[in-house]
Chain A
Amino acid sequence: MADLTSNFVGITSPNPFWLASAPPTDKEYNVRRAFEAGWGGVVWKTLGSEGPPVVNVNGPRYGVVHGADRRVLGLNNIELITDRDLYQNLEEIKRVKADYPDRAIVVSLMVPCEEEAWKAILPLVEETGADGIELNFGCPHGMAERGMGSAVGQVPEYIEMVTRWCKQYYSKPVIVKLTPNITDIRQPAAAAMRGGADAVSLINTINSIISVDLDAMAPQPTIDGKGTHGGYCGPAVKPIAMNMVAEIARSPETAGLPISGIGGITTWRDAAEFMALGCGNVQVCTAAMTYGFKVVQEMISGLSQWMDEKGHTSMDDFVGMAVPNVTDWQYLNLNYVAKASINQDDCISCGRCFAACEDTSHQAILMSADRVFTVNDAECVACNLCVEVCPVEDCITMVAQEPGTVDERTKKLVVKEHGDWTTHPNNPGAVAAE
């Protein structure tokens, strides 16, 4: 049986599934229920400075992009950090941690970008016995207007400075949560690293307008006729998050920096993918907000089954395993040739592959009068569009051409040797192969 025990920058938890800092982790009641349901850890919803807490809108906070059958694909929110009293939160954190010593509790923090503010709150957090802190440099709405959240996360120098203060005034691991609302994610990650961060977590939510009410002519969620941009998350953001994770994992400057992966993780497979790209653990929010805390049970059973099938006994066996295979386009093997192949036994004759290829791609699918669809190798560039639009899984596959055969399209011999853009004759900057 695979061992799911997780040790992320010295913080242990029975599994790598943490609830991200968000509404599900706003109070003791929820966090206890989350632990009972099986979550390995939580990042407590962001605490702010002492004093009157922030206030939230009293109208709708969420909007959603639905898929078929109203499946939640993307979620947008305009909720702020905790609107409960700092000391009440701290007391609750202390109580829950004492009752669940085997679970991870990390406290998310967002206070003004001043040393005194951090110096004031860190000892209070230290006193709770929580396992670490996460710096919320990502929240893109509301708090950013006040010089916090993503306003800090978009300035690498601030990230470095605040991280350094935290390492100075707090003894346990410091995780820096990054905003994706930036051009190059490697810059803030490197800044966090310079400041001494133990890890980064990403991504926070993406600036978004989820929908427009065409009667009210206002963005949704609409508060008394007006709307504002929110933070986008859920399954829809996973590809964006994974790219950013991979960029940090493979950048020479930040390689080896521990990463806690966040962004639309809904199933065990999502988690495994993030981990293969270098994440030591993962954080989840939208899946819990859609399906409830119980959803973690599938993540645990699925990851465990997959690890058993692959012979992985611990997560160290596969964390980062896919990183060496993430490369730049210029290094992709241009001598690799594949062709689409349609399994006629599985084909249901819907013609979607034909429409996609004929109208928008390379006119490489032929259609007979009796609706038999076949691939014309002389035109197929192996773009994969037909594979993805086909409603039947594995009906169309990409088949690699064996070296020694001829590519019908280019009439060239398929060779075994690697040949990429850096050495391609069409590249004016090509370097001769050694």
Chain B
Amino acid sequence: MANSLSTSGIVSGRKERQDLSDSFSDLHEPLSDHEALVAADRCYFCHDAPCVTACPTSIDIPLFIRQISTGTPEASAKTIFSQNILGGMCARVCPTETLCEEVCVREVAEGKPVLIGQLQRYATDTLMAEGTHPFERAAATGKSVGIVGAGPAGLACAHKLATLGHDVTIYEARQKGGGLNEFGIAAYKAVNDFAQKELDWLLSIGGITIKYGVALGEDITLADVQTDHDAVFFGMGLSGVNALGCEGEDLEHVVDAVSFISDLRQANDLAKVEIGRNVVVIGGGMTAVDAAVQSKLLGAQDVTLVYRRGKESMSASVYEQELATSNGVRIIYNAQPMKVAKNGKAMSVEFAYTKTKKGKLTRTGESFSLPADQVFKAIGQNLTGAPEALKLENGKIAVDENGRTSAPKVWAGGDCASGGDDLTVTAVAEGRDAALDIHATLLG
């Protein structure tokens, strides 16, 4: 091995191949049959269960767990998929610790929730491994819907519409579908090419065509899509990345965390992915954690995640923060970047300590500096390229509770739409619900 954790600069191959592959293995090993039964046994089958209320897609969690305990994981999976067709991915990436499992009565009473996420994965993996699709399409309606973006919102919308008998065409700017599931989530949360397998499985319902490499604003316009279809759904996500707004931001190795994650996810060989000896990640969300942990797993010697506010304000959950620290990432709270400076080949980032007074962030006057071969920006994304015809609200496409935009017969959902909390599961719920409203409108 030519390189090690302490090799200076930005290099690949800091770890042996086997070590890398172990590092990037499944975050949670799948439950065995026995483990699933034991875990399922802990569910009390609560009435009007808090977990269901906490789930953005309202999966009937007590029922699906009971179906696992009675030896019918396939029926269980159907219960899950009937509410959330991306239930397989959500089982892997949902921050269950802040959703269903946080309100599980056994979490509240004992501090140990029923393992809802892992049980959901057990059920959905079982059905998907059988290669069957649990739903059939209704009789053809003769209507067609155009969808912009093959991410979670677009796919959930497409699947529901296809099930209801409509024909769907998805226009996807990239060469692969799945959106953030494919490009934006840490590799250890969706191993073995799960995002693509799930996409293929979802499409097996039939009636959905994806046109890859077709970008809105470049290859097609809203008017084109409106002309070709009876309704339009926007699930285009957020393609812009927020700027740090400090000096040195344009330096060569100051990059967007989403690009780093995307490149890593698409890499055929992790041993060829380059990473700095010293990495600084700036931000406080899941993307920041995903970038920091994966930097560490690739072999960066020192990875520091710097967040401008306190631990409790961080949008990455406490579980995610602990995942980062247990992987050796140092988290510095209450600091914001002032300047990125070049020091020969390397860089250094100067930070000001901050404090929050009555909700307002101010600098304390103290500062520090971190050496950095690479700086990853993860301070949020923004909407770019939305058609002018659609009204915006706080920088996102304005939608009502049914996902309707300001333009007739145009709906939107997922990260690009107003409201919601930018989670995969929320995008699925919004796509699904918009589909139901589109259906009601088209056949109304």
Contact = CB atoms under 8 A, between A and B. Distances in A.
A269 B70 contact: yes
A302 B34 contact: no
B74 interface: yes
B70 A267 contact: yes
Given A295-B45, A301-B75, A268 B34 contact: no
Contacts of B78: 301
Interface residues of B, number: 18
Contact of B67 (A291, A301, A392, A393): A301
A311 interface: no
B47 interface: yes
A389 to B, nearest CB: 16
A300 B33 CA distance: 22
A295 B70 CA distance: 12
A268 B63 contact: no
Contacts of B47: 292, 294
A213 interface: no
Interface in B29-70: 33-34, 37, 41-42, 45, 47, 62-63, 66-67, 70
B34 A301 contact: no
Nearest to B37: A393
A417 interface: no
B163 interface: no
A393 B70 contact: no
A302 B67 CA distance: 7
A129 to B, nearest CB: 32
Contact of B70 (A268, A291, A392): A268
A304 B79 CA distance: 14
Interface string B143-162: 00000000000000000000
A370 interface: no
B71 interface: yes
B72 interface: yes
Contacts of B42: 69
Nearest to A300: B75
B341 to A, nearest CB: 58
A292 B37 CA distance: 21
B72 A268 contact: yes
A305 B75 contact: yes
A298 B63 contact: yes
A267 B66 CA distance: 9
Contacts of B71: 269, 302
Contacts of A335: none
Interface string B71-90: 11011001100000000000
B72 A297 contact: no
A302 B68 CA distance: 10
Contacts of B45: 291-292, 294-295
A305 B63 contact: no
Contacts of A291: 45
A269 B62 CA distance: 18
Describe B's contact surface by its main secondary structure: helix
A395 to B, nearest CB: 9
B72 A69 contact: no
B74 A297 contact: no
B76 to A, nearest CB: 8
B74 A298 contact: no
Describe A's contact surface by its main secondary structure: helix
Contacts, number: 42
Interface in B251-290: none
Nearest to A392: B34
B63 A294 contact: yes
Contacts of A305: 72, 74-75
A87 interface: no
Contacts of A331: none
Contact of A393 (B34, B62, B75): B34
B41 A306 contact: no
A268 B47 CA distance: 20
Interface string A87-100: 00000000000000
Contact of B41 (A69, A295, A393): A69
Interface string A257-299: 0000000000111000000000000000000000110110110
B34 A298 contact: no
A269 B42 CA distance: 20
Contacts of B34: 392-393
Contacts of A301: 67, 72, 75, 78-79
Which of B37, B45, B62, B72 lies at the interface centre, i.e. has the most chain A CB atoms within 10 A of its CB?
B72
A374 B306 CA distance: 57
Contacts of B37: 393
A295 B67 CA distance: 10
Nearest to A70: B44
A269 B79 CA distance: 18
A123 B79 CA distance: 45
Interface string A350-389: 0000000000000000000000000000000000000000
Contacts of B67: 298, 301-302
A298 B66 contact: yes
Nearest to A301: B75
B338 to A, nearest CB: 55
A271 to B, nearest CB: 11
Contacts of B33: 393
A269 B67 CA distance: 11
Contacts of A292: 45, 47
A306 B74 CA distance: 10
Contacts of A295: 45, 66
B126 to A, nearest CB: 12
Which of B62, B70, B71 lies at the interface centre, i.e. has the most chain A CB atoms within 10 A of its CB?
B70
A291 B42 CA distance: 14
B166 to A, nearest CB: 23
A305 B71 CA distance: 10
Interface string A148-178: 0000000000000000000000000000000
Closest 5 CB pairs of A and B: A301-B75, A267-B70, A302-B72, A305-B75, A298-B66
Interface of B: 33-34, 37, 41-42, 45, 47, 62-63, 66-67, 70-72, 74-75, 78-79
5 contacts: A292-B45, A298-B66, A298-B67, A302-B72, A392-B34
Given A268-B72, A295-B66, A298-B67, 13 more contacts: A69-B41, A268-B70, A291-B45, A292-B45, A294-B45, A297-B63, A301-B78, A302-B75, A304-B75, A306-B72, A392-B34, A393-B34, A393-B37
Interface of A: 69, 267-269, 291-292, 294-295, 297-298, 301-302, 304-306, 392-393
